[in-house]
Chain A
Amino acid sequence: EDKVVQSPLSLVVHEGDTVTLNCSYEVTNFRSLLWYKQEKKAPTFLFMLTSSGIEKKSGRLSSILDKKELFSILNITATQTGDSAVYLCAARGDTGGFKTIFGAGTRLFVKA
């Protein structure tokens, strides 16, 4: 069965810390891995990764995919209180139409 597992489930850090969020996946005919940030309401898109070893960056956030180990990480450097959110990892396969499997999320809390 397809699945996405994220770790840790929750994390508390201080402003300025660097955090690494982990995501492992098992998806039939893997096509892409996505990261979303969910604050109070809707998940908002951060990154989509399709190739191994190519880092995607957006400000203090970066992510990389390892298709051999079926793994992705999301890094956040110099964390701020506004980074507090649930970070969702999702994987897309090539079966079942446009099915996206989401992990349970990592709840990040950044203390001032």
Chain B
Amino acid sequence: DTAVSQTPKYLVTQMGNDKSIKCEQNLGHDTMYWYKQDSKKFLKIMFSYNNKELIINETVPNRFSPKSPDKAHLNLHINSLELGDSAVYFCASSQEIPGTRPREQYFGPGTRLTVT
């Protein structure tokens, strides 16, 4: 029944490692997002994909690479992890049609990444 799911929920890893976070939505939405929420609870957009195409790519280090194999999935791969990457990463989805009114986003449960 879960609308937006992410795996894993927790990820503890060492600096320099490469890791991936997976996201899937079963809402039939066309647009998916990755957000980073830091320790101060500030939620900041990283990427947005619409129908598997990259729409938004914020000022994110190129160690972060999103991949959307189909419109129900948006995975996030992170190379050479750094201490500052520690945060909660949220995936979200919405039913957006370019040029029409914005829609609310549905968030996944988050992945807490800790880099030691």
Contact = CB atoms under 8 A, between A and B. Distances in A.
B42 A99 contact: no
Chain A CB count within 10 A is highest, among B94, B96, B102, B109, for B102
Chain B CB count within 10 A is highest, among A36, A98, A104, A107, for A98
Interface in B56-91: 56, 90
B31 interface: yes
Contacts of A92: 102
B105 A100 contact: yes
A78 to B, nearest CB: 25
A42 B94 contact: no
**Secondary structure dominating the interface of A:** strand
Given A41-B110, A42-B110, A105-B41, A98 B56 contact: yes
Chain A interface: which size bin? 20 to 34
Contacts of B94: 98
Given A50-B101, A92-B102, A98-B96, A43 B109 contact: no
A45 B103 CA distance: 10
Interface string A28-58: 0001101010100111110010100000000
Interface of B: 4, 31, 33, 40-45, 48, 50, 55-56, 90, 94, 96, 101-110
Interface of A: 31-32, 34, 36, 38, 41-45, 48, 50, 86, 88, 90, 92, 96-102, 104-105, 107
15 contacts: A31-B101, A31-B102, A41-B109, A42-B90, A43-B90, A43-B107, A50-B101, A90-B43, A96-B56, A97-B50, A98-B50, A99-B56, A100-B33, A100-B45, A104-B42
